[in-house]
Amino acid sequence: MKFGRVVLFGRPNTGKSTLLNAIMQQKVAVTSPMPQTTRKSIRVLFGDERGKIIFSDTPGIIGKVEDLVGRSINAKAPKEISNAEVVVMLVDISRPKSDEDNKAIGWVRKSGAKKILVYNKMDKVKDGKDFLPQYNYLEEEFDKVISISALKEKNIKGLVNLIFELLPEKTDEVVKEEIREIEAEKKPLMGSNAKDFVAELIREKAYLFLRREVPYSINVEVESIEDKGKIIMVRAVIFTTADRYKKIIIGKRGSKIKEIGYNARKELELMSERKIYLELEVRVDKHWPERYLI
């Protein structure tokens, strides 16, 4: 059996989180059309008869960032690469190559890990119009190359096959210990350690329904999750930095906050197969970015 760490890497919105969900065949990472929806590196354990893989979904590399949270997010992804046995570099062939791609490629070049170049979003290519020629020159720098559609789950098994092929025959004991730690941490979705996951899910819905109005000015913290038997009570706070943003999040007659809460609750009920009561509050705290970095 083979064991190892695999890092998903690339510019924002190349489909890293969607790919991880497709590999795991369940939702483990939040997604939205907004860049850097993923704020933290997410580790999950995949296993089959061939071995076990620790997958890390990393935040997308943004070219220019000025805010504290953005700078912190940009620094997280390169740190994950240093521990990887395999780096999976995603590029979006439906969009032209950008400076953000170049920045991400630069980090991958520094890695001594095995490398897979993944052409994603083949489902978006119409009439053969894609930007493949802008990326083709990279192929000689990578150990393997594959085209996929993470959204349509095309060639996902083929990608996993390539990863197992590139994993080392001999496993570092540190990797095995890390796998044991992840297995020991595994708890039901709505267990006491679920606060971060639920907070991320609510933030995902806020991004989707607020569009580009305030997403980078919000954070979500879950204050409590209580199992009452027939129902699970969740209380969460959406923090924002100004009163004008609070009004947008709440919406006219509470329409936006109701929409966010309803869709978050429905997804939590589907995933947990339990009845959920979700209480959402919006608070203004201009210092939440500093607290987020602690």
What is the set of domains in the chain, with CATH numbers?
A: 2-185 (3.40.50.300), 195-293 (3.30.300.20)
Q: Which pLDDT score, from 0 to 100, does residue 70 have?
A: 58
Please list the residues that pair with 43 across neighbouring strands.
56
Q: Which pLDDT score, from 0 to 100, does residue 287 have?
A: 82
Strands annotated E in 211-271: 218-227, 231-240
β-sheet with 86-92: strand ranges across: 42-48, 51-57, 2-9, 86-92, 114-120, 144-147
Q: What is the pLDDT of residues 52-74, one digit of tens each?
A: 999 988 876 665 655 656 566 66
Q: What is the pLDDT of residues 181-209, one digit of tens each?
A: 878 776 544 443 678 888 889 988 998 88
Q: Is the model's pLDDT at 1 over the cut of 80? A: yes
Q: State the average pLDDT for the chain.
A: 85
Q: What is the pTM of this model?
A: 0.77
Q: What is the pLDDT of residues 84-128, one digit of tens each?
A: 999 999 999 999 999 889 988 998 999 999 999 999 999 888 777
